[in-house]
Chains A and B, each alone.
Chain A
């Protein structure tokens, strides 16, 4: 019988066999090497492709590249870099010959602006790896008023659902898995280290160079217990001097500013990098058909409820929804030294201040509740290529942060949508009046070592230490948490990569070890004292990814992982009274499978077509959830009872024509089926039913048309249109009840027009979101913004 366990065993066996068949032979192969330069000198991270073999590489810090173990013959080199004209060079190499070339690149007329990159960029290479991954180059969106979560929401398999407005709570899902099952990283470091305000719907697009979304199967370099997938933000790591500043104004009194700049002293390699942003919005968009209150007894905006008081239905502006946040980061260090490719120290601050307008349901209106917080972070990173021996690259990061967030719920008021309140002896949000403090000291260390034996075989070893203490207390009652939970995770990943048959077949086999240590002071009702309890757990995950080019430009890929999400202290130890401890709680795990195919074609250097289609399966077991008896019983216990199977498919077609036209269409389908039961001896009526409140069919279409030099030399006009569609979905369980409540289908259109001057030094962009002013919803039918306008001004300059 084919079970998950013996599939896993077989995969391990294949991995081992492949490993032992690792035989490398050095014959009389040829070599093409060279250096890529522009007028200022050598260029790093330039993509160099060997067209005939579909091989590609990037230039190193000296602008050098090499293709080894080549057979004699004629080859075409394609050299590309954003902002530069792509160079194609035909070369011929004899048996045993070593070619050494110097290749000069010329800047293109549109700098950093909707450039059609011919040849494979790093993101394209990743798309053609064995992993199921979305990669998004953010540069083309640099002039738009978009944040990272809006950008990702347009890619296949990803759904970001927000409460509404700038800075609102959101849920990020990848192929149907969400919440704690998805982990976020910035340059491979868990994003949490930068604080609460550094969330995806807050980070301006200008702070990132690209974003990678790994679906279900996550490379070892992103060391975390990411059960459903991971998102990695790649920031600018080049060694140029640049300033990128932008400011946005728009509807609902929205103002956003972003700055990203770097100063490099070419002589001594001393580098200062400053990143920062501020976001502000009143988020006072209009709510349609909501409930207000009226009556004879209103003074100011306070009503005394009496026999004359009654409800009215009206359209009302959100009145307690202001959000502001700020982030500042300074990084100082050296690059390109003999002892370090990069050695940087960084310091950052994030802060946010937010008024809360509603609960999870928009019928629950707040008028006073707030949340604010800040975080301080310091870190050190070091990287060195060819450490000790050639092919051994290492990098390490160690960081500490302290994150504080405070939720205030002290108002004795019950608000209605027309900003009228009645005196209430109950708090707005919870059961008790609270000024709830959550303080989290956090330490993260990451070390990644890779060793490339030759062009065909390489290893990667990754270690992450993640330790956090959760201190929660209500300031109105106490001054500290007697009962902080301590979580320490040690995650080690080892990967072996093989690129066989001149990179035609590429495999990665990996294994991950998850070590978990938990500590909590738990109140014992028997002895009436706090007892220190601790627990540890070890789990071993594994997986592989494989890509095979069936023919040139057409490949198939497959990836698999047995992935884990480790239990948290609060889930395992409970709180002593309301949440009962469950020391038998195990980590959640899931068997994730992806099967995909892609086709990539460039015709006459003008037409670029990329098509990909993927199917996926997620078989998630032992999901941890709070078994709440009923709402009148305070007792809950966390148990490993949820089982969910998700299957789905997604497809995307991308087409570019020169610098003139770009178009993308994609669609994602997913079916999440519950196989859960709170009762282990029987299966409830929800068994084998679709999970409620999960969009299951959605798609996006983007169209961009732009023209250079239309309104003068070194200018560009760019028009973008995007349409986002979500099919209706169940708000509650399918098949149960006489009437099925659903969230209706929605189609939202957005458009923007950008003018760039002086080679994109100055940019102005006008944008309209939700052009047709559709009633847009997310979770639980929470209304989102209607039509909104934004103008963004951006200044960008870059020099070597």
Chain B
């Protein structure tokens, strides 16, 4: 009998001992910086997204151990960074939120009801420092909607843009590149079919007149040299306006037609039709599929592309400098390790400071800085934790 009770008691005791107290780790590298890194950990269904702030991305290291804030369900990394804050549409809750990450606290500074654009499939641009323009489809992609948001007063102007009717067999619109320049709004779009049929195999562009009370369509045009609508700035930039006010837009035809190249198109400042004298076949200079484009000044831009020749690893994404004005490859940044993911906000540009975050093979996870004169790269902060997915970097 004694043996029995002893063994039962031992088991019960071990149950009690194992159920130890909460080990809420105290933060040892907590920072309140201007730089923010977004990281995803775990496998489905246990994936979680974290944001962590750092003062500098040039040296040191950062980890999530007792540091950073889990934001799964509160926000997603398809988000709008702007001057110290993040702006986000929470479609599940039907709200427009202004967030702040301070002392590892992710706080909703202001939150108002908002239901209009299908945000996860939308894109945005800034008309000026306090005016945000969001353009995107409705839920079933049959309409193209926009919201002009005054981020100081939280006043919204919601409307709809009328694009050409969907050609027969096509069921929805997709919106990609979006830019504002000199009173005009420029965007790339596409006609999509139901899965699994491919989308429309020409590049489509639209121009609308901007006013604070709403947008008015000016016109659309298509070009057979490429296809695809570019990517959404919420996730990855693929368009920009240079210091002259000219608009550059990269098309991303990979999901539509694998034989068509990536092409950068241009609208000269103040014009409403594509500059037919300018078409930059980016695929020809990199030999691969480009997915993102970030202007770094002086007509130069960083492009992120998928080196489809690499089969042995899922780290296939490389970076290169291109000259948009002269339509040339400046340099492939071969000193950088290869990244493992495609449509991400990987590059931040602040004047002459350019940083690139790369999720390299193994523990080779760093933020790199780029010298915009020599195009040399330098290893900066180390992201410790061997994460599978580094989602985005922002400087607020």
Q: Mark A residues whose CB is within 8 Å of B.
A: 291, 293, 295, 303, 305, 307, 309-311, 359, 361, 363-364, 412, 414, 416, 422-427, 431-433, 477, 523, 525, 554, 575-578, 597, 599, 611, 613, 615, 625-633, 641-642, 649-651, 667-669, 671, 674, 676-679, 681-687, 691-693, 696-697, 727-728, 732-742, 780
Contact = CB atoms under 8 A, between A and B. Distances in A.
Nearest to A428: B139
Contacts of B63: 685
Interface stretch (B37-45, B278-286, B298-306, B323-331): B37-45
A363 B145 CA distance: 25
Interface in B47-82: 47-48, 50, 63-70, 72-73, 76-78
Given A423-B115, A733-B48, A738-B68, A554 B386 contact: no
Contacts of B140: 425-427, 432-433
Nearest to B140: A433
A692 B47 CA distance: 9
10 contacts: A426-B91, A477-B171, A599-B4, A613-B7, A625-B44, A679-B314, A686-B42, A697-B15, A736-B65, A739-B104
A735 B26 CA distance: 9
B229 to A, nearest CB: 14
Contacts of B342: 629, 633
Interface stretch (B17-25, B211-219, B265-273, B350-358): B17-25
B78 A631 contact: yes
B343 interface: yes
A630 B64 contact: no
Contact of B341 (A414, A633, A681, A735): A633
B80 to A, nearest CB: 14
Contacts of B65: 685, 735-736
Interface of B: 4, 7-8, 11-12, 14-15, 18-19, 22-25, 27, 30, 40-44, 46-48, 50, 63-70, 72-73, 76-78, 91-95, 104-105, 111-116, 118, 120-121, 138-140, 143, 145, 155, 171, 194-196, 198, 232, 234-235, 314, 340-344, 361-363, 385-389, 391
Interface centre among A361, A424, A738 (most CB of B within 10 A): A738
Contacts of A687: 386
Contacts of A625: 43-44
Given A554-B4, A682-B362, A697-B19, A651 B12 contact: yes
B67 A738 contact: yes
Contacts of B66: 735, 737-738
A697 B27 CA distance: 27
A652 to B, nearest CB: 10
Contacts of B391: 630
Contact of A737 (B4, B69, B341): B69
A684 B385 contact: yes
B139 A433 contact: yes
Contacts of B344: 630
A410 to B, nearest CB: 10
B363 A682 contact: yes
Nearest to A597: B7
Given A305-B113, A629-B389, A669 B18 contact: yes
B19 A696 contact: yes
Smallest CB-CB A-B distances: 7 pairs:
A426-B139, A425-B138, A738-B104, A685-B385, A364-B92, A613-B11, A678-B388
A733 B386 contact: no
A649 B15 contact: yes
B348 to A, nearest CB: 18
B114 A631 contact: no
A234 B234 CA distance: 55
Contacts of A427: 139-140
A424 B139 contact: yes
A220 to B, nearest CB: 29
B327 to A, nearest CB: 29
Contacts of A674: 42-43, 46
B26 to A, nearest CB: 9
A31 to B, nearest CB: 33
A524 to B, nearest CB: 9
Contacts of B92: 359, 361, 363-364
A628 B112 contact: no
A588 B78 CA distance: 33
B44 A628 contact: yes
A416 B12 CA distance: 46
B46 A692 contact: yes
Contacts of B14: 649, 669
A739 B77 CA distance: 20
A416 B4 contact: no
A736 B43 contact: no
Nearest to B386: A682
Nearest to A612: B8
Nearest to B41: A686
Nearest to B74: A363
Contacts of B120: 431, 631-632
B304 to A, nearest CB: 14
Contacts of A734: 23
A692 B73 CA distance: 15
Contacts of B138: 425-426
Contacts of A737: 50, 64, 66-70, 104
Given A599-B8, A740-B25, 8 more contacts: A431-B121, A628-B47, A681-B362, A682-B363, A684-B387, A692-B48, A736-B41, A736-B68
Contacts of A599: 4, 8
Contacts of B41: 684-686, 733, 736
Interface centre among B24, B47, B389 (most CB of A within 10 A): B47
Contact of B139 (A309, A432, A683): A432
A692 B42 contact: yes
Nearest to A634: B255
A576 B19 CA distance: 46
Given A631-B78, A737-B64, A651 B235 contact: no
B15 A425 contact: no
B40 to A, nearest CB: 7
Contacts of B77: 630-632
B73 A363 contact: yes
B386 A651 contact: no
B30 A740 contact: no
Contacts of A525: 196, 198
Nearest to B64: A736
Contacts of B4: 554, 597, 599, 611
A307 B158 CA distance: 12
Contacts of A691: 46
Contacts of A295: 113
Nearest to A434: B140
A414 B23 contact: no
A740 B68 CA distance: 10
Nearest to B158: A305
Given A692-B42, A737-B69, A732 B139 contact: no
Interface centre among A678, A727, A737 (most CB of B within 10 A): A737
Contacts of A651: 8, 11-12, 15
A631 B42 contact: no
Given A692-B48, A735-B65, A577 B11 contact: no
Nearest to A293: B113
A735 B25 contact: yes
A157 B291 CA distance: 49
Contacts of B196: 523, 525, 575-577
A611 B113 contact: no
Contacts of B18: 649, 669, 671, 697
Nearest to A413: B115
Contact of A630 (B67, B386, B389): B389
A629 B168 CA distance: 33
A613 B195 contact: no
Interface centre among A667, A736, A741 (most CB of B within 10 A): A736
B12 A667 contact: yes
Nearest to A629: B341
Contacts of A630: 40, 77, 341, 343-344, 389, 391
